[in-house]
Amino acid sequence: MALSAFSHAQPKDATGVLVLADGTCIWGKGFGASGSAVGEVCFNTAMTGYQEVMTDPSYDSQIVTFTFPHIGNVGANEEDVESRELGAVGLVVRQDVTRHSNFRARDEFVEWCVRHGKIGLSGVDTRALTRRIRIRGAPNAVIAHNPRGQFDMKALKKQAAEWSGLEGLDLVPGVTRDAHENWQGGYWQLGTGFSKADNRKPHVVAIDYGAKDNIFRNLVKAGAKVTVVPARTSLENILAMEPEGVFLSNGPGDPAATGEYAVPVIKGLLERDVPLFGICLGHQMLGLAAGAKTAKMFQGHRGANHPVQRVGGGWGESEGLVEITSMNHGFAVDGETLPDGVEQTHVSLFDGTNCGISIKGKKAFGVQYHPEASPGPQDSFYLFEKFVGMLG
């Protein structure tokens, strides 16, 4: 099928469609799971990591447009997932999904999408869609796939137009785990796979707001014993575990909506001088707990090469240094609203958005990016070492 135009008329061989809230229809070839799903359409510019993106719970209620065309080339396996069943609800790609050519592949990506309920749409002019999102912001939409090419367009348009959108939405209850877990997995290495976490010290309690598994592996790699707890665990229960530090995970949705129950706990931890490290949603809610405000961005950051500069927080000689980071966020801590006790430590070099804070006089800091996934040469693993190093 030719690259789709953004049109209302269904091409005769179309088996998939993305219906935007304003009624625009982007036709293509459906793949993966059949059915439909509603979400916000974003784009991700990373050249690797499609399986990680699709299983990152922070992408809940999002439909990811991949700007990189070769999706599927490393296949799929059971090791490169960030969660078992969660993540983005759908994906939009330009080319038909490539057959795999990688020694670690256990499955074709299309088959994996079928098994994991991910709805795909290929044959889309992803450049045009990305440009539209850049200029007009991320639209709400429904992605639909029917191998027989039959769609109830009226119903799909209605669903897209009526969805409330991500702002004000607390998505954490649907993605957090239900029970405590003594985290066992260490770092992955070629030949040996995941290492086993021994009973290390210090003890970190990690609050799961929709965490990616690799963050916990990195805490283990940095030397911590990790206990993961559900998002609504009370302050008393967290303190009863006698943590030397508490980690605040990434997660989906609006931090202001999630903060209603999470922020009082984080405030309590701050008051008791428990060391804290927050990533993404965790960072945003640490900001809220410290008195800053968060806001939805017109243009989110999603990709694996976002330059972030160290601007404060006592970096010494490395102040000014730029880290190349992985990111996935559509909300941010508003750098203009930081109260006196909060220092800005990192900013995006794309648009000046706040990307890191540290609470003065406390062992508490957060970053907006994914240090566990940031590529070299200046990778960001040092943040896990910094956190674990300040405990005990």
Ligand X SMILES: NC(=O)CC[C@H](N)C(=O)O
Catalytic-residue membership of 42: no
Q: By rule CB under 6 A, what string of x and - marks binding of each residue 258-297 to ligand X?
A: ----------------------xx----------------
What is the nearest approach in angstroms of ligand X to the Cβ of residue 212?
Answer: 8
Which residues, other chains included, contact 351 with Cβ-Cβ below 8 Å and sequence gap of 6+? 299
Strands (E), 175-254: 181-182, 185-189, 193-196, 203-208, 225-230, 245-248
Q: Based on CB atoms, which residue is closest to ligand X, 186 or 330?
A: 330
3-state secondary structure of 22: coil
* 86 lies in the site for ligand X, by CB under 6 A: no
Say how many residues touch ligand X, by CB under 6 A.
11
- Tokens 């239900």 belong to 178
Could you check whether the bond before residue 11 is cis, i.e. omega within 30 degrees of 0?
Answer: no
For the record, the structure tokens of 219 come out as: 């805490």
- Catalytic option among 25, 42, 113, 280: 280
268 CB-contact burial (10 Å; exposed 0-12 / middle 13-18 / buried 19+): middle
What is the nearest approach in angstroms of ligand X to the Cβ of residue 198?
Answer: 29
Catalytic-residue membership of 372: yes
Q: By rule CB under 6 A, what string of x and - marks binding of each residue 51-80 to ligand X?
A: -------x----------------------
* 225 lies in the site for ligand X, by CB under 6 A: no
* 380 lies in the site for ligand X, by CB under 6 A: no
Catalytic-residue membership of 280: yes
What is the nearest approach in angstroms of ligand X to the Cβ of residue 12?
Answer: 38
Amino acid making up residue 183: W
Q: Which residues of 191-227 are buried (b: 16+ CB within 10 A; e: fewer)?
A: eeeeeebeebebbbbbbbbbbbbbbbbbbbbbbbbbb
Q: Based on CB atoms, which residue is closest to ligand X, 67 or 294?
A: 294
* 328 lies in the site for ligand X, by CB under 6 A: yes
Active site residues: 280, 370, 372
Question: Which residues would be at the binding site for ligand X (CB under 6 A)?
Answer: 58, 250-253, 280-281, 328-331
